[in-house]
């Protein structure tokens, strides 16, 4: 068989997703599901209703902010644009539980604002934020960078003549954006939004802190509280099923249409100078989410620094080392798999390359702790509690975040280049190594950086799959917040955020260079 | 890159615990995650030369990990923060029965498993915390008082997902049966001042601020708040008082943080030494002084704040019952609409 090695290789990597998920499905189906009747008559509809509202609300906030920020930064030039673009990534660097916790402490009576106002003689009435609406706002802002990041390069590649034609036809700005631009970028928009939807649906820490239950908190309530893991797994399979159906529908709806506009000119090359009122508008509207999603949480952590106890720097250095170590391993495995998934598509027919590519995003479709169970269900101490096992689990979860970046690079420089190289007598591997990888390198690094931001923040899988004496900045920060001594979490929390900023900045810079070059 | 990966894979094998034959180790899976505990483990290593390897996560997840790792799993000890999880681990066959006169002498019999599958290390009393000027302790002598019409719109609670709340309700089920408990829970939920949220500390602060006037809390959260490095928090903590409920009746609800030896343990001697160290005066004092928990051993020095709160009558219920009734407790909480 032609290219058998590659086929086997791709198939083997697809098993990383297929085996754990399959084994989990098997386990779920084997359970009697004893708690369904009870859940159905009490809390299930509440879970479903809240989850729907949370997801739709978060999509609305993230979609609006992300698309708007991406559009104005492609279309217009305005003072401070570079800083503005970088700022849009900042909310992504604060883990959701940390954002929610710091907001609660920030607004409470003994928080910095309350203390300050009372010292001036004013009363303080605000109570810590809670509830579904607060959840939507905080999550929507924490996640909109995903939409921003996926839309910006696509906007930038649009054909400017399309817009000119529409303008000459008398279309308004709004009409052009909603009826022309958005439909053109549909795949990227859906890609970004589905990341947002999956992450908000799977969020566990934030809803329990803000006091509302969702489908995901329900899964854990059923597992921990009712002690019925079987029903919990069945609930999780429902969640997975929803995503599988969604991906199939989305794929079917898109058909084989290609959304490349193939123009030599790009919208991103010719930004228009923004009128004065627009500059003000952009900065005002763009600053708000940064304040909510980044500056307040960071400020609160800095405020906590003033109330540190002695113990707070406990082994901080080793936590940094561990965090970076697992990043290197997971990043290394992740990059190999991402390359394979993209290269496989160029090299092999979809029947061989498809499985890996379509399985990868499913790692994001389940709550982390359930995914950890899936990995554990493969059993064995060779996997559980090793650096390699944890790295594999992290890759399984986050490869879907980095994949689209490389995919879009391969669309620009891929099939034709490979065919040419192979015709000239190069083996596929040497074509990949010598011809494709060098121009792909920035996109590859960018996709690793995006994964790194997520791996840095990861909690549930790290906690349960970790080796002995293994503490990352995220697990350390979380345990101190969980123990209700948040001030001690400040050193690790701030370090975590700054590491995440470094990777986000690096990723963004590489993405920018890629969309300007080539 | 490849070299780094290879190196780290190798390292991961060695860090495993069983690795170097000469070192004596005990591998601990723990739901507790306090720095004071880690300092205590370091002390144990210094005294015995036995290295403590630690993985910390939610007990239910650790239990699944132990199941997945099977008979060759590395865990020697499982530590949880409530008895229901120890019972779950025991029922799943993950714990082995241990005999130790040191443990049996130090720990009262109702705080350990009759056959030695698990042992209580600290006691955690779940008490009523009330606002000193907005309500009177006389009106709050029992857990049941919180369900009285007088407290409509005054009760603050954290989520029903919380294990401490589930455990307290499980004790109601054990004492009064499910029907009475449900009636009580419905009246209690009707008295909630706001949707359940936050942790114990959040709710204590909300009591202090008059959002409601009463809540349940584990004592150590109030202890920590009183010892906070933020003077504003200390001021708040001083406006609330603490009541050990049901002193005339069944006694105040007490849960344990406890430990058992894993059925798969290959370091049983070290595991036993570790458990015996944790009930030594030194370790028990550390639990009480650093984390404001109640020692299981009598005659151990306690933090001043614990001393000031005084002694109290504990619920004498066999702790295993809390495990038995945990799921039913949550079902009733769900039925009563406790979110």
Closest CA to B35 of A314, A310, A305, A475: A314
Average pLDDT over residues A15-21: 91
* Dist CA A401 CA A503 (whole Å): 14
Task: Flag whether pLDDT at A80 surpasses 50.
Answer: yes
Return phi, psi of residue B99, to 5°. -110, 130
For A100, A364, A396, the CA distances from A401, given in Å and listed in that order, are: 23, 8, 10
Among the ranges given (A22-31, A39-48, A349-358, B142-151), the one the predictor scored with the smallest mean pLDDT: A349-358
Give A372's contacts in chain B (Cβ within 8 Å): 61
Mean pLDDT of A124-145: 92
Sign of CA dihedral B318, B319, B320, B323: positive
Whether A220 and chain B come into contact, CB under 8 Å, resolves to yes
Pairing of strands B155-156, B214-218: parallel
Which CATH number applies to B124-252+320-335: 3.40.190.10, 2.40.50.180, 3.40.50.2300, 3.40.50.300?
Answer: 3.40.190.10
Q: In the block, which residue shows the tokens 């022309």? A: A180
**Whole-number Å distance between alpha carbons of A435 and A419:** 11
Question: Would you give the DSSP letter of residue B112?
Answer: B
Q: Where are the domains of chain B?
A: 2-121+256-300, 124-252+320-335
User: Residue B250 contacts by C-beta under 8 Å, 6 or more apart in sequence?
Assistant: B175, B315, B316, B317
Find all residues with CB under 8 Å of A415, minimum gap 6, and list them: A346
Q: Is the pLDDT assigned to residue B99 strictly greater than 50?
A: yes
Q: Is the pLDDT of residue B314 over 50?
A: yes
What pLDDT sits at residue A219?
94
- The CATH number of domain A1-30+307-518 is 1.10.10.10: no
**Whether pLDDT at A160 is above 90:** no
How much is the pLDDT for A101?
Answer: 92
Under the banding of pLDDT at 50, 70 and 90, the label for residue A257 is low
Compute the mean pLDDT over every residue in chain A, rounded to the nearest whole number. Answer: 89
**Any chain B CB within 8 A of the CB of A404?**
no
What CATH number matches the domain at B2-121+256-300, 3.90.1300.10, 3.40.190.10, 3.90.700.10, 3.40.50.300? 3.40.190.10
CB contact under 8 A, A386 and B224: no
Helices A4-29 and A368-376 cross at an angle (nearest 10°) of 110
HSE-CB at A22 with a 13 A cutoff on CA atoms is 8
Q: Cα angle vertex B192, ends B188, B194, to 5°? A: 160
pLDDT, mean of residues A116-144: 91
Q: What is the mean pLDDT of residues B108-132?
A: 95
Say yes or no: do domains B2-121+256-300 and B124-252+320-335 share a fold: yes
- Per-residue confidence at A516, pLDDT binned at 50, 70, 90? low
Chain B residue with Cα closest to A37: B331
Q: How many CB atoms lie within 10 A of CB A172?
A: 11
Give the pLDDT confidence score for residue A167 in this predicted structure. 87
In terms of Cα–Cα distance, which of A416, A414, A415, A434 is closest to A426?
A434
- Span A391-411, average pLDDT: 87
User: What integer pLDDT is reported at residue A458 of this predicted model?
Assistant: 93
Domain A44-304: CATH superfamily is MetI-like (1.10.3720.10)
One fold for both A1-30+307-518 and A44-304? yes
On the question of pLDDT at B20 being above 70, the answer is no
Domain positions in chain A are 1-30+307-518, 44-304
pLDDT tens for B142-197 read 999 999 999 999 999 999 999 999 999 999 999 999 999 999 999 999 999 999 99
Rounded mean pLDDT of B218-238?
A: 93
Q: Name every chain A residue with its beta carbon within 8 A of the beta carbon of B194.
A: 130
Q: Kindly indicate the confidence band of residue A514, based on its pLDDT and cuts at 50, 70 and 90.
A: low
Say if A327 is an interface residue toward chain B (CB within 8 Å). no
Q: Residue A379 pLDDT more than 80?
A: no
Residue B41 and residue B50 in contact, taking contact as beta carbons nearer than 8 Å: no
Q: Residues with Cβ < 8 Å from B96, sequence gap 6 or more?
A: B117, B260, B261, B262, B263, B265, B268
* Chain A touched by B136 (CB under 8 Å): no
pLDDT band at A518 (very low <50, low <70, confident <90, very high): very low
What does the DSSP 8-state code read for residue B147? G
Phi-psi region of A469 (alpha: psi -120 to 50; beta: other; left: phi over 0): left
Give me the pLDDT at residue A311, please.
60
> Which residue carries 């449900």 as its tokens?
B182
Q: What is the pLDDT of residue B240?
A: 97
d(CA A300, CA A481): 13
Q: Is A384 on the interface with B (CB under 8 A)?
A: yes
Q: Write down the H helix ranges in A413-436.
A: 415-423, 428-430
Most confident stretch, A190-199, B122-131, B193-202? B122-131
* Residue A119 vs residues A8, A258, B142: alpha-carbon distances, Å: 69, 62, 39
Cβ atoms of A132 and A86 within 8 Å: the answer is no
Model pLDDT, residue A255: 59
pLDDT single digits (tens) A419-454: 888 888 888 888 898 888 888 888 888 889 989 999
For A481-495, what is the mean pLDDT?
A: 90
Task: Choose between A19 and A163: higher pLDDT.
Answer: A19
Cα separation, A508 vs B10, in Å, equals 34
Closest CA in chain B for residue A481 = B199
- Cα–chain center distance at A167: 35
The ipTM assigned to this model is: 0.91
Give the C-alpha separation, A147 to A85, whole Å: 13
pTM (2 d.p.): 0.91
pLDDT surpasses 80 at A210 = yes
Give yes or no for residue A293 having a pLDDT over 70. yes
**Mean per-residue pLDDT, A293-318:** 87
CB contacts of A328 in chain B (<8 Å) are 4-5, 8
More confident residue, B130 or A380: B130
- For position B23, what pLDDT does the model report? 81
Task: From chain A, pick out residues whose CB is under 8 angstroms from the CB of B60.
Answer: 223-224
Residues 6+ apart with CB under 8 A from A473: A319, A320, A323, A456, A492, A493, A495, A496, A499
CA distance A467 to B55: 7
Residue A38, chain B, CB below 8 Å: the answer is yes
Shortest distance, CA A428 to any CA of chain B (angstroms): 21
- Asked if B159 and A208 come within 8 Å (Cβ–Cβ), the reply is yes
For residues B22-47, average pLDDT = 93
CA–CA distances in Å: residue B33 to residues A91, B56, B254:
28, 6, 20
| Nearest residue in chain A measured CA to CA from B52 | A469
HEC profile of A237-300: HHHHHHHHHHHHHHHHHHCCCCCCCCCCCCHHHCCEECCHHHHHHHHHHHHHHHHHHHHHHHHH
Nearest CA in chain B to A476: B33
- Spell out the residues 6+ positions from residue B129 whose beta carbon is closer than 8 angstroms to its own: B203, B204, B207, B214, B215, B216, B217, B222, B240, B241, B242, B243
Q: What is the pLDDT of residues A462-476, one digit of tens each?
A: 999 999 999 999 999
Per-residue pLDDT at B12 exceeds 60 = no
Higher pLDDT, residue A419 or A64: A64
* Mean pLDDT value across residues B96-112: 95
Instruction: Give the pLDDT confidence score for residue A461 in this predicted structure.
Output: 92
Query: How far apart, in whole angstroms, are the C-alpha atoms of residue A116 and residue A127?
Result: 15
pLDDT the model gives residue B1:
47
Q: CB contact, 8 Å: A250 with chain B?
A: no
């Amino acid at each position: 068989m032609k290219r058998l090695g590659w086929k086997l290789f791709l198939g083997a990597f697809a098993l990383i997703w297929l085996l754990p998920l399959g084994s989990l499905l098997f386990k779920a189906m084997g359970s009697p599901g004893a708690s369904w009747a009870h859940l159905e008559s009490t809390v299930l509809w509440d879970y479903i209703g809240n989850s729907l509202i949370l997801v739709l609300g978060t999509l609305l906030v993230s979609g609006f902010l992300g698309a708007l920020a991406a559009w104005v930064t492609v279309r217009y030039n305005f003072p401070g644009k570079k800083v503005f673009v970088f700022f849009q990534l900042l909310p992504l660097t604060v883990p959701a539980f940390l954002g929610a916790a710091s907001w609660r402490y920030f607004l409470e009576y003994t928080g910095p604002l309350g203390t300050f106002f009372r010292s001036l003689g004013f009363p303080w009435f605000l109570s810590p934020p809670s509830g579904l609406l607060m959840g939507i706002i905080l999550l929507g802002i924490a996640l909109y960078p995903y939409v921003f990041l996926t839309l910006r390069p696509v906007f930038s590649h649009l054909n400017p003549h399309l817009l000119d034609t529409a303008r000459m036809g008398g279309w308004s700005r709004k009409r052009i954006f909603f009826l022309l631009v958005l439909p053109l970028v549909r795949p990227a928009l859906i890609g970004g939004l589905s990341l947002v939807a999956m992450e908000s649906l799977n969020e566990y820490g934030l809803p329990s802190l803000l006091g509302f239950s969702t489908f995901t908190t329900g899964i854990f309530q059923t597992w921990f509280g009712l002690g019925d893991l079987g029903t919990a797994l069945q609930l999780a399979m429902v969640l997975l099923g929803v995503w599988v159906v969604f991906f199939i529908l989305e794929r079917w709806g898109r058909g084989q249409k290609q959304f490349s506009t193939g123009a030599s000119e790009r919208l991103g090359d010719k930004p228009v100078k923004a009128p004065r009122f627009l500059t003000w508008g952009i900065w005002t509207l763009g600053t708000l989410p940064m304040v909510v999603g980044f500056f307040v949480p960071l400020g609160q952590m800095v405020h906590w620094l003033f109330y540190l106890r002695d113990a707070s720097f406990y082994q901080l250095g080793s936590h940094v080392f561990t965090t970076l170590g697992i990043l290197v391993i997971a990043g290394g495995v992740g990059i190999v798999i991402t390359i394979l998934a993209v290269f496989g598509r160029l090299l092999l027919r979809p029947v061989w390359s498809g499985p890996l590519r379509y399985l990868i995003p499913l790692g994001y479709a389940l709550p982390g702790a359930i995914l950890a169970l899936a990995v554990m269900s493969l059993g064995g101490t060779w996997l559980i509690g090793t650096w390699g096992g944890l790295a594999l689990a992290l890759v399984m979860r986050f490869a879907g975040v980095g994949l689209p970046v490389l995919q879009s690079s391969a669309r620009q420089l891929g099939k034709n280049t490979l065919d040419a190289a192979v015709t000239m007598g190069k083996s596929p591997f040497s074509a990949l190594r010598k011809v494709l990888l060098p121009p792909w390198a920035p996109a590859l690094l960018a996709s690793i950086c995006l994964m790194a931001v997520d791996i840095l923040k990861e909690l549930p899988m790290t906690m349960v799959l970790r080796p002995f004496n293994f503490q990352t900045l995220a697990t350390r920060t979380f345990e101190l917040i969980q123990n209700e001594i948040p001030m001690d979490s400040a050193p690790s929390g701030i370090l975590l955020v700054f590491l995440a900023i470094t990777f986000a900045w690096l990723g963004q810079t590489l993405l920018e260079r890629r969309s300007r070059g080539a | 890159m490849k070299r780094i990966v290879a190196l780290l894979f190798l390292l991961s094998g060695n860090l495993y615990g069983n690795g170097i034959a000469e070192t004596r180790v005990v591998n601990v899976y723990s739901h507790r995650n306090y720095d004071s505990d880690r300092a205590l483990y370091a002390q144990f290593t210094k005294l015995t030369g036995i290295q403590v390897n630690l993985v910390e996560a939610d007990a239910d997840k650790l239990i699944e990990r132990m199941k997945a790792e099977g008979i060759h799993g590395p865990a020697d000890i499982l530590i949880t923060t409530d008895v229901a999880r120890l019972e779950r681990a025991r029922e799943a066959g993950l714990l082995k029965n241990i005999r130790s006169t040191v443990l049996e002498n130090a720990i009262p019999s109702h705080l350990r498993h009759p056959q030695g599958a698990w042992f209580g290390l600290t006691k955690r009393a779940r008490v009523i915390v009330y606002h000193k000027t907005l309500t009177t302790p006389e009106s709050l002598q029992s857990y049941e008082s919180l369900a009285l019409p007088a407290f409509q719109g005054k009760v603050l609670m954290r989520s029903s997902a919380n294990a401490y709340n589930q455990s307290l309700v499980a004790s109601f089920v054990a004492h009064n049966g499910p029907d009475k408990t449900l009636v009580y829970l419905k009246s209690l939920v009707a008295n909630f001042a706001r949707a359940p949220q936050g942790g114990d500390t959040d709710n204590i602060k909300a009591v202090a601020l008059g959002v409601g006037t009463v809540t349940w809390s584990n004592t150590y959260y109030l202890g920590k708040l009183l010892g906070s490095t933020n003077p504003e928090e200390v001021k708040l903590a001083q406006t609330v008082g603490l009541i050990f409920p049901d002193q005339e009746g069944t006694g105040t609800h007490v849960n344990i943080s406890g430990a058992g030896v894993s059925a798969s343990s290959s370091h049983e001697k070290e595991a036993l030494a570790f458990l015996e160290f944790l009930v030594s005066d030194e370790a028990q004092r550390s639990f009480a002084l650093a984390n404001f928990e109640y020692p299981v051993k009598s005659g151990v020095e306690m933090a001043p704040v614990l001393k000031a709160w005084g002694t109290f009558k504990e619920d004498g219920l066999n702790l295993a019952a809390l495990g038995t009734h945990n799921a039913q407790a949550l079902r009733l909480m769900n039925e009563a609409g406790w979110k």
